[in-house]
Amino acid sequence: MIKIQNLHKKFGSLHVLKGIDEEIHQGEVVVIIGPSGSGKSTFLRCINRMEEPTQGQIWVEGVNITDPKTNINKIRQKVGMVFQHFNLFPHMNVLQNITLAPIKVKQLSKEEAEEKAYQLLDKVGLRDKALEYPNKLSGGQKQRIAIARALAMEPEIMLFDEPTSALDPEMVKEVLEVMKELAQEGMTMMVVTHEMGFAREVGDRLFFMDDGKVIEQGDPKDIFINPKEERTKLFFSKVL
Amino acid sequence: MDRWGERMTISEIFLGKQRYMYLVKGLRFSLGVTALSAVIGLFIGVIVSLFRISQFQPFSFITNPRLKKLSTFNPLAFIAKIYVTIIRGTPALVQLLLMYYVVFGSVAAPKIIIAGIAFGINSGAYIAEIIRAGIEGLDKGQTEAARSLGMPYGMTMYYIIIPQAVKKILPALVSEFIILLKETSIVGWIGASDLMRGADNIRAQTFRAFEPLIAVALIYLLLTSVFTYFMGIVERKMKLSD
């Protein structure tokens, strides 16, 4: 579903990603953990070209997205993204936030888009907030709306960039619940996270990243119990 | 028979020989120039600010790292920057006189048009910087969220960035228009009969400086206050939708 080949990313002289080769399969939930500065977010952001890879290739459903001729907007419709800071549009209410892209990009009628939006709001448990503006919502509610907004484009892959890192502790769970449900429905997901419980419980595969590389990967349950690499052990000894 | 100088009353100064008409006509001219240059300035400002924030890099096909400067060169942003630097770095009066004596030196055109263009070009540079700061001051996450949903650049600007930027820049834009109105008081230099020149004419006829100048100051003050008041209402209305 996603194939990454020899991915490098440099910011000026800073070499952030130093060669990543991975394949992510349909329906898989890949959790990416690692110390800060290890390139987790940059890696994720290359997959929908929020960052331009410096070198290497990425295929999403057989389309080479690093090819300059590829229409990246078409790809992004299939690859939803959820951000650490939610990034809801503050000048639009919840319903408008969710329906804007389906109406303008996918050319859905307003009625179709709103019907779909209400279904998604039910799914994230926030139907009653449809006409509120984002500044009236809690962090957890904002993030659930952001997930609904991404899902409204009916993506085949969802990228989560530290979706609970900006949340107060008591709101983390409500967001993780939504993500878990999504995983159970068979959504292909890549999740950069610091939530070890979530990684262990929901992840099908875990990437441990350090210094711009995936240095260890496998079934999260195994890695948590029996990490092979020294750096992985060191990391777990600090966070668990 | 006019008395003049020390012994004149206010009504004699302004009503005698219908001298107040200098102020009425001057006011009309000043407002006309301001409106015209505001429209031109806003138009230029929007275009130039878009130039400055554009990602246009026609030489990006050059991959040689030693020519990195060239491959990331944005001619639109460069032109915009030159324009802003020149306009902001030279006095408006010089620009006005250049427009009148040089650009329109051999072309007959109404003074209101010449002044409107000169002040429009002048104001455009300031407005461009105001708009650019407003757009660049927005959270980058807004653009990213829209782009991640598959919205193209133009659509993102139109639906996400500009509506938010407008709210942010409105106060700065209001003060720019106030400055513009006051700035037009130098059009007397090209022989135009604006409000300021009206006061000058009255002074010349009556030998009284105080009353006409205070009258003009009060008119400017009244205009800017009324404008500020109404824009304040607009700003509050916009905040409600947040």
Query: What is the dihedral sign for C-alpha A100, A106, A109, A115?
Result: negative
Instruction: Please report, as a single letter, which amino acid is at residue A144.
Output: R
Count Cβ atoms below 10 Å from residue B88 Cβ, excluding itself.
Answer: 12
Q: Would you say how long chain B is, in residues?
A: 242
Q: Which of A48, A89, A101 sits opposite B142 (nearest CB)?
A: A89
Alpha-carbon distance A9 to nearest alpha carbon in chain B (angstroms):
16
Describe the crossing of helices B20-53 and B111-136 by its angle, rounded to 10 degrees: 40
CB A25 within 8 A of CB A157: no
Q: Where are the beta strands (DSSP E) in chain A?
A: 2-11, 14-24, 29-33, 55-60, 63-64, 79-82, 157-161, 188-192, 205-210, 213-218
Q: Which CATH number belongs to the domain containing residue B110 in this structure?
A: 1.10.3720.10
Per-residue pLDDT tens for B84-117?
999 999 999 999 999 999 999 888 899 999 999 9
Contacts of A74 in chain B (CB under 8 A): 150
Phi/psi at A87 (nearest 5 deg)?
55, 40
For B12-39, what is the mean pLDDT? 89
Q: Which residues pair with A190 in a beta bridge?
A: A30, A159
Contacts of A89 in chain B (CB under 8 A): 142, 145-146, 160, 164
pLDDT band at A46 (very low <50, low <70, confident <90, very high): very high
- For chain B, the domain total comes to 1
Q: Which of B144, B167, B242 sits opposite A83 (nearest CB)?
A: B144
Residue A239: its pLDDT value, please? Answer: 83
Q: Do B145 and A90 touch (CB under 8 A)?
A: no
Q: Do A104 and B155 touch (CB under 8 A)?
A: yes
Q: How many CB pairs under 8 A join A and B?
A: 70
- One DSSP character per residue, A167-199 reads S-HHHHHHHHHHHHHHHHTT-EEEEE-S-HHHH
Sequence-distant (6+) residues with CB within 8 A of A217 are A22, A205, A206, A207, A208, A223
Residue B215: its pLDDT value, please? Answer: 92
Q: If you measure CA to CA, which chain B residue comes closest to A150?
A: B149
Per-residue pLDDT tens for A184-202?
999 999 999 999 999 999 9
Asked if the model's pLDDT at residue B37 lies above 80, the reply is: yes
The top-scoring range by mean pLDDT among A18-22, B20-24, B56-60, B232-236 is: A18-22
Supply angle C-alpha A199, A203, A207, rounded to 5: 75
Per-residue pLDDT tens for A77-93?
999 999 999 999 999 99
Q: Strand A14-24 to strand A188-192: parallel, antiparallel, or no bridges (unpaired)?
A: unpaired
Asked if the model's pLDDT at residue B77 lies above 50, the reply is: yes
Spatial CA neighbour of A142 closest among A76, A73, A86, A62: A86
Phi/psi at A158 (nearest 5 deg)?
-120, 130
Alpha-carbon distance B179 to nearest alpha carbon in chain A (angstroms):
30
> Can you give the residue range of the structural domain that contains B120?
2-240
Between CA B232 and CA B6 the distance in angstroms is 42
Residue B55: its pLDDT value, please? Answer: 82
Q: Do A133 and B167 touch (CB under 8 A)?
A: no
